[in-house]
Amino acid sequence: MTEPSIWWQHRADPPTQPSVPGDPGPQETFDVVVVGAGVTGLATALELVRAGRSVLVVEARHPGAVTSGRTTGKVSALQGTTLSELRRRHGDSPRVTAYVESTLAALDWVAAFCDEHGVATQRRDAVTYAASRDDVSTVRAEHDAALDAGLGVRFETDPDLPVPAYAATVLPDQLQLDPVELVLAMLEQVRKAGGRLLTGRRVQRLRQRGETVHVLGEDGLEVQGRHVVLATGAPVVDRRMHFARLTPQRSYLLAFTHPDPPDLMALSAGSPGRSWRGGELDGRRMLLVGGEGHETGRGPRESTRVDRLRRWTDEHFPDAVELGAWSAQDYMSLDGLPLVGGLGGPSSSVSVATGYRKWGLTSGVAAGIALAGAQSGAEAPWSERLYTRAPRLRDVPAFLGVQAGVALGQAGSLARGVRRPPPVEAARSGGCAALPVCTHLGGTLRWNDHEQTYDCPLHGSRFSADGEVLEGPATRALPRLPRLPGTGGRSSS
């Protein structure tokens, strides 16, 4: 498959890592099997191996392959309008306080980790700004919520930004970094401390036998642990319909060289959201621009969204020269807080962590600290409060809202006619199912013309043009039809 150019992966040592020597097989029982090698899985694994636990990380693709290796690389306690949104939904709930405490703890963790292991970071102001007069009150609400949460923000009525801005709240001294460098350094430390890693192995099922959880998957994968952490974004084994409590949100990032990139990390309040920051990579001065978030597999064509970001950049940063454009997705939970804790069902030996609403460089690390602490007995003071409670009656309207969205997504796909790949792509891919249907719950897939993928509008599963699972709750490839007559088939690509 042709991957759009991901700037973080333009490096001499790409993040594809070989597996540990030898498949551990079913005879060895690990204290914890962590499924997924993004920031969540690696933070969990690292905390556990540091606490003396035996850990195996099983990764379907390669470390950082899905969301963690494609982020904007902002590590910040000021997160757009998150705090005011949480306050609106939850008031002064202890869970919101725990969220802020966990974010600050994760920020410290990342800063210390990067200092100790030579990951380059830059200290920058994080800025939430009003791109229109209508958004000033939203920025003011975020400022007030941040102040009340104890963050040292300052309010600016006439911010000096390179784009139109009517007000801003600014939190100094946050971090920006290269997320792939972070993932690779975390992986190296997991290994140095004795953790093991299996890559290219997709987990499909869990089976509880006595005190042990058997982790089963592709190509005869069978490993076992006393505890399993699903750090896979959307949970790939589901006992309590977590997929129905999460909304997959895709958004786009473009990287540019720029002679004078901004020295801050900005995010606009209101719509359309624009996220941007400056930086340097491999000695080049660069600008990152992101936005155009939408529910996966729904709405206008993906390439249209990328073009909108190009036009916006052209207007505000005319000296920018594009280097690459890519996208990624993260999950929104029903209550806006991370979904961290037990998976539910008959066993208490499986945990899950997701739902970071695009702030997983802190929330994923916090989840790792919390889940590892629960295993090692060294629980952070905020972790108990951060855990997700079982759904309550008051969650019902939000739950129904997500389900209505899912139904509309499917209806929209069918009404507009299924967007299929152009014939040449179908031929190259060896001819997938003519009407691709998601192997998770049967959603009608939609062709994503920017990433050249099939995306599911129901729960966000995504497949490459030749049907392999890329991400989301699905664990099985699309069925393939015989090669189209008169084409060279897969070998022609």
Ligand X SMILES: Cc1cc2nc3c(=O)[nH]c(=O)nc-3n(C[C@H](O)[C@H](O)[C@H](O)COP(=O)(O)OP(=O)(O)OC[C@H]3O[C@@H](n4cnc5c(N)ncnc54)[C@H](O)[C@@H]3O)c2cc1C
Q: Which residues pair with 207 in a beta bridge?
A: 214
Among 17, 72, 410, 448, binds ligand X (CB under 6 A): 72
DSSP string, 175-220: EEE-HHHHHHHHHHHHHHTT-EEE-S--EEEEEEETTEEEEEEGGG
Give the residue with the Cβ less far from ligand X, 420 or 468: 468
Among 236, 337, 380, 438, binds ligand X (CB under 6 A): 236
* 443 belongs to the binding site for ligand X (CB under 6 A): no
Choose between 84 and 232: whose C-beta lies nearer to ligand X.
Answer: 232
* 107 lies in the site for ligand X, by CB under 6 A: no
458 binds ligand X (CB under 6 A): no
Angle at 92 between CA 86 and CA 97, to 5 degrees: 75
- DSSP result, 229-271: EE-SSS-SS-SS-GGGGEEEEEEEEEEEE-SS--SEEEEEESS
- The CB density around residue 428, as the number of other CB atoms within 10 Å, is 23
Between CA 419 and CA 298 the distance in angstroms is: 11
Closer Cβ to ligand X, 427 or 474, answer by number: 474
What is the distance between the alpha carbons of residues 428 and 348, in angstroms, rounded to a whole number? Answer: 45
Does position 231 interact with ligand X (CB under 6 A)? The reply is: yes
203 part of the interface to ligand X, by CB under 6 A: yes
Closer residue to ligand X, CB minimum distance, 131 or 230: 230
CA 4 to chain centre: 17
Whole-number Å distance between alpha carbons of 362 and 104: 8
Residue from 119, 168, 253, 386 in contact with ligand X (CB under 6 A): 253
- Which CB, 303 or 487, lies closer to ligand X? 303
**Shortest CB 341 distance to ligand X, Å:** 14
Binding of ligand X by 61 (CB under 6 A): yes
Structure token digits, residue 97: 């306080």
Dump the DSSP string for 409-432.
HHHHHHHT------HHHHHHTT-B
Q: How many residues bind ligand X (CB under 6 A)?
A: 40
Query: At closest approach, how far in Å is the CB of 306 from ligand X?
Result: 12
CB 250 within 8 A of CB 328: yes
Q: Report the candidate in 201, 231, 215, 214 with the shortest Cα–Cα distance to residue 44.
A: 231
Q: How far is the CB of 353 from ligand X (least distance, A)?
A: 7
Check binding of 221 to ligand X (CB under 6 A). no
Interface residue with ligand X among 95, 366, 475, 478 (CB under 6 A) is: 475
Judged by CB under 6 A, which of 128, 224, 296, 329 binds ligand X? 329
Q: How far is it, in rounded angstroms, from Cα 154 to Cα 423? A: 55
73 binds ligand X (CB under 6 A): yes
For residues 353-392, which are near ligand X according to CB under 6 A? 354, 356, 358-362, 364
Number of Cα atoms under 13 Å in the Cβ half of residue 131: 16
251 is a contact residue toward ligand X (CB under 6 A): yes
- Tell the smallest beta-carbon distance from residue 138 to ligand X (Å): 20
Binds ligand X (CB under 6 A): choice among 44, 68, 81, 174: 68
Q: Is 44 in the site for ligand X (CB under 6 A)?
A: no
Q: Collect all residues with Cβ–Cβ distance below 8 Å to 483 and sequence separation of at least 6.
A: 427, 430, 431, 489, 490
- Cβ nearer to ligand X, comparing 52 with 272: 272
**Shortest gap between Cβ of 356 and ligand X (angstroms)?**
4
Smallest gap from Cβ 35 to ligand X, in A, equals 5
Distances (CA, A) of 332 to 77, 114, 271, 487: 18, 28, 17, 42
User: Cβ 475 to ligand X, closest distance in Å?
Assistant: 5
Stretch that binds ligand X, among 12-20, 72-80, 385-393, 428-436 (CB under 6 A): 72-80
> From the list 46, 48, 56, 65, which residue makes contact with ligand X (rule: CB under 6 A)?
65
- Does position 305 interact with ligand X (CB under 6 A)? The reply is no
Among 279, 290, 409, 443, binds ligand X (CB under 6 A): 290
Closest to ligand X by CB, 351 or 362: 362
Distance separating alpha carbons of residues 260 and 319, to the nearest angstrom: 9
Residue 35 interacting with ligand X (CB under 6 A) = yes
* Burial of 416 per CB tally in 10 Å (0-12, 13-18, 19+): exposed
Q: Residue with the closest Cβ to ligand X?
A: 360
Nearest to 30, CA basis, from 188, 186, 190, 187: 190
Q: Please, are residues 37 and 184 in contact by the beta-carbon 8 Å criterion?
A: no
| 60 contributes a contact to ligand X by CB under 6 A | yes
Structure-derived torsion over alpha carbons of residues 462, 19, 359, 111, reported in degrees to the nearest 10 = -160
Instruction: Give yes or no for residue 39 binding ligand X (CB under 6 A).
Output: yes
Among 159, 233, 338, 342, binds ligand X (CB under 6 A): 233
Is residue 101 within 8 A of residue 363, CB to CB? The reply is no
- Nearer CB in complex with ligand X: 350/427: 350
* Cα dihedral sign, 363-368-373-374: positive
Residues that bind ligand X (CB under 6 A): 35-41, 58-61, 65-68, 71-74, 202-203, 231-233, 236, 251, 253, 290, 328-330, 354, 356, 358-362, 364, 475
